[in-house]
């Protein structure tokens, strides 16, 4: 490994390709119906308790903004609204919300917000917590396709077997990297409201992670278990320190049973091998100010897989479009998968 490879990758928004460049160029999100997301939760409503469980379809609407509208309609504080996470504003998203209503009911048939449709209302005993979703199902159409379709089919087949680099993509950083600017302002004493602070801290951690992942993509080690690696089980947030000279590790990694990981920077050191820890520190040196700021904020250190493999991936062509469907675990970005096959002529915004 060579930390000098960090280069452009250390800028957070640059994401080297793991293999060859995408075979296609096409328009992403020409219409909301071209980007459809269904949230996957590990449980459903239990039919009892003091929360209304809402299954909501939204178009062109931000999740946090919709939560505020639900609170206003129900006459409750926003803290009474539960949802698992932010979804894309540009697109059609079906996700779940809970509204805490102890001892009373709300006539949701009267709820009318442009771009929002209530699909189902049931009762539930608990608030949906942030980060509690298992993942998302995507149905995506890329239009005005130009390029080598045969090679694109080969890239799709490789994606289904070997996965893609698990980058945080552009929407995490805000327009023009504005969330990173907020992070630096926060770390130098500026006051941010709760939502801005959350976006800023997430962007800071994401930029450091992308720098490490980009360097390992350039080195060709993003999909291998290195000495001293902290690995993660596929489909789980459970990580473990690898055992030196275990001959089975990279065989399991090749089968995507386990994955190498990169840092979600925090206040304490995790048990990473000395050489790998030095590499991660070197290739993210452009973000030393962010690392210091995150440590002062006392965020818990964590790890994220360097690789993501889309589940149930399919792709088919029409006259001028590529239609793709796949599932991803929570926290993974569909655009990190799409960019391996098609360079979008319109990037998503949140």
- Tell me whether strands 135-147 and 51-59 are parallel, antiparallel or unpaired: unpaired
Convert 241-257 to b/e letters by CB count within 10 Å (16 or more is b). Answer: ebeeeeeebeebbeebe
Distance CA 16, CA 215 (A): 8
Of the residues 34, 88, 223, 282, only one is catalytic, namely 88
For the beta carbon of residue 122, count every other beta carbon within 10 angstroms: 14
- Would you call 88 a catalytic residue per the annotation? yes
Contacts of residue 211, defined as CB under 8 A and 6 or more positions apart, other chains included, come to 6, 9, 10, 11, 12, 283, 284, 286, 287
121 pairs with which residues across the strands?
54
DSSP 182-196: HHHHHHTT----HHH
DSSP 53-119: EEEEEEES--HHHHHHHHHHHHT--GGGEEES----SSSEEEEEEEEE-TT----GGG---TTEEEE
Distance CA 97, CA 84 (A): 8
Judge whether 96 and 84 are in contact, CB under 8 Å.
yes
DSSP state of 265: -
Distance CA 71, CA 56 (A): 14
DSSP 148-163: -HHHHHHHHHHHHHH-
No. of helices (H) and no. of strands (E), the chain: 8, 16
Q: Three-state DSSP class for 130?
A: coil
- Taking alpha carbons only, the member of 93, 91, 85, 87 closest to residue 38 is 93
Catalytic residues: 88
């Amino acid at each position: 490994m060579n930390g000098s490879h960090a280069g452009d990758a250390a800028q957070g928004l640059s994401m080297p390709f793991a293999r060859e460049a995408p075979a296609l160029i096409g328009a992403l999100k020409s219409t909301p119906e071209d980007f459809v997301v269904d949230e996957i939760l590990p449980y459903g409503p239990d039919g009892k308790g003091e929360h209304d469980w809402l299954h909501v379809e939204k178009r062109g609407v931000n999740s946090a903004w919709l939560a505020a509208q639900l609170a206003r309609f129900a006459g409750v504080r926003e803290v009474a609204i539960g949802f698992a996470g932010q979804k894309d504003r540009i697109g059609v998203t079906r996700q779940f919300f809970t509204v805490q209503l102890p001892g009373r009911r709300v006539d949701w048939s009267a709820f009318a917000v442009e771009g929002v449709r209530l699909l189902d209302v049931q009762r539930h005993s608990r608030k949906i917590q942030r980060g509690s979703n298992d993942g998302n199902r995507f149905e995506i159409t890329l239009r005005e396709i130009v390029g080598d379709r045969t090679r694109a089919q080969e890239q799709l087949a490789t994606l289904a077997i070997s996965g893609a680099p698990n980058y945080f993509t552009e929407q995490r950083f805000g327009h023009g990297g504005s969330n990173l600017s907020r992070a630096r302002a926060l770390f130098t004493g500026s006051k941010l409201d709760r939502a801005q602070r959350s976006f800023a801290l997430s962007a800071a951690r994401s930029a450091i992670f992308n720098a490490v992942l980009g360097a390992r993509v350039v080195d060709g080690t993003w999909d291998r278990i290195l000495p001293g690696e902290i690995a993660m089980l596929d489909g789980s947030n459970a990580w473990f320190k690898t055992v030196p000279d275990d001959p089975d590790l990279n065989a399991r990694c090749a089968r995507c049973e386990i994955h190498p990981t990169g840092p979600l920077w925090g206040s304490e050191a995790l048990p990473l091998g000395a050489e790998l820890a030095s590499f991660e520190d070197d290739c993210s040196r452009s973000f030393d100010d962010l690392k210091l700021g995150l440590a002062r904020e006392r965020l818990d250190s964590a790890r994220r897989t360097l690789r993501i493999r889309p589940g149930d991936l399919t792709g088919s062509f029409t006259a001028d479009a590529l239609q793709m469907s796949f599932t991803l675990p929570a926290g993974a970005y569909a655009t990190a998968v799409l960019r391996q096959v098609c360079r979008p002529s319109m990037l998503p915004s949140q």
